[in-house]
Amino acid sequence: MTARIIDGNALAARVRGEIAEQAAQLAAQGVQPCLAVILVGNDPASAVYVRNKVSACEKAGIRSLRFDYPQDVTPGEVMAKLAELNADPAVHGILVQLPLPRQFDEAAVLEAISVAKDVDGFHAENVGRLSQSQEAFLPCTPHGVMKMLESEGVKVEGAEAVVIGRSNIVGKPMAMLLTNAGATVTVCHSKTRDLAFHTRRADIVVAAIGKPRFITGDMLKPGAVVIDVGINRLTEGPDAGKLAGDVDFASASEVAGLITPVPGGVGPMTITMLLANTVISASRAAARKGAA
C-alpha cells in the first residue's frame, strides 16, 4: 500500500484564509485581534518559532506585540509584564514561548496568564476544562491534529488510537482530545514495554516523541492513519541538516493509508490554531463590547 499524504500546508492555508476574514470583520467592528508574545533568552529554535508566529499573525491581519527579555531577566519583571497584558483590553491572546530559563517556575508563569487570554491552552484551568469536555482554549498542536483528521474525514469515534509521548503540550492533550472524540486511546511513552505491540493494532497513530524516524513501517497496521508531530534536525547521515519527523516516512508510507509529512504536515497547523484561538478570544471581546 502507498499512503495518501495529508498536505498540512494546503489545509493551513485554507484555515488561515478563513481566520483572516474573521480578523478583518472584527477589525471593522473596532476590535483588531491582538496577540502578545514573550520571548526570554536566546534559544535559536525559540527565536525561529516566535518569528514564525509573529509573521503568521501579520499575514492574517492579527496585530502582534513582541516582548524580548535577556536570559538573566528576573521572573518578577516578566510577571509584571504579564499582569499588564492581562489587564490590557486591546490584547486578546498572550503567549510565553517555552522553554524558559532555569530561574523561572514554568507552571507559575503559565498560570499567571489570564485564562481568557491563554491562547496556547497551557493554563491549568484550560487543561482541566479540556479534561472535563468543557469549552476551553485547546492546545495548538493537538488541536491542529484533530482539525487534520476532521478535514480528511477520518472516523475517530470507535477507532483504536495510540499516542506516543505524554508531554503536557502534545501527548497528554492529544490523548484527551481523541478520548473526547470517542476513540479508544492508549498512551505510550519511554517506559512502555512493547511499543510495537500497541502501534500495530492502532487505526490512528500519533507520534510525538522527539526521535527522528523512530516509528517504522513494520510497527504499523496496514491502512493506519499516521500523524507525525515530531520535528527533528538530523545531525548525521546523508540527510544531515534536514528536518525529519518521528516517523520513518519511507517505510511507513508503504504501510499506512494516510500519513503526514515533515515538514509540511502538523507544523503549519500548530501556528494556524494559535491564530484561530486569538481570533476566538477577540470575538468574545467584541461580543462583550457589543453587550456593554
* Residue ranges in contact with ligand NAD by CB under 6 A: 141, 164-167, 169-171, 188-190, 192, 195, 208-211, 229-232, 266-267, 270
Nearest distance from C-beta of residue 195 to ligand NAD, angstroms: 5
Toward ligand NAD, which CB reaches closer, 154 or 214? Answer: 214
- Residue 97 catalytic? yes
210 close to 244: Cβ distance less than 8 angstroms: no
Backbone dihedral angles phi then psi of residue 28, each to the nearest 5 degrees: -65, -25
Toward ligand NAD, which CB reaches closer, 13 or 83? Answer: 13
Distance CA(6)–CA(103), nearest Å, equals 41
Q: What is the dihedral sign for C-alpha 135, 141, 147, 149?
A: negative
Toward ligand NAD, which CB reaches closer, 61 or 230? Answer: 230
Exactly one of 118, 120, 228, 248 is catalytic; name it: 120
C-alpha cell at 220: 504499523
Burial 124-151 (b: 16+ CB within 10 A, else e): eebbebbeeeeebbbbbbbbbbbbbbee
Nearest distance from C-beta of residue 192 to ligand NAD, angstroms: 5
Run of H or E residues at 242: none
Distance CA(142)–CA(178), nearest Å, equals 9
219 close to 199: Cβ distance less than 8 angstroms: yes
Nearest distance from C-beta of residue 101 to ligand NAD, angstroms: 17
Toward ligand NAD, which CB reaches closer, 52 or 251? Answer: 52
Distance CA(164)–CA(186), nearest Å, equals 8
Q: Which of helix, strand or coil describes residue 256?
A: coil
Nearest distance from C-beta of residue 279 to ligand NAD, angstroms: 19
Toward ligand NAD, which CB reaches closer, 151 or 192? Answer: 192
Nearest distance from C-beta of residue 133 to ligand NAD, angstroms: 22
Distance CA(157)–CA(224), nearest Å, equals 15
Kindly list the catalytic residues. 53, 97, 120
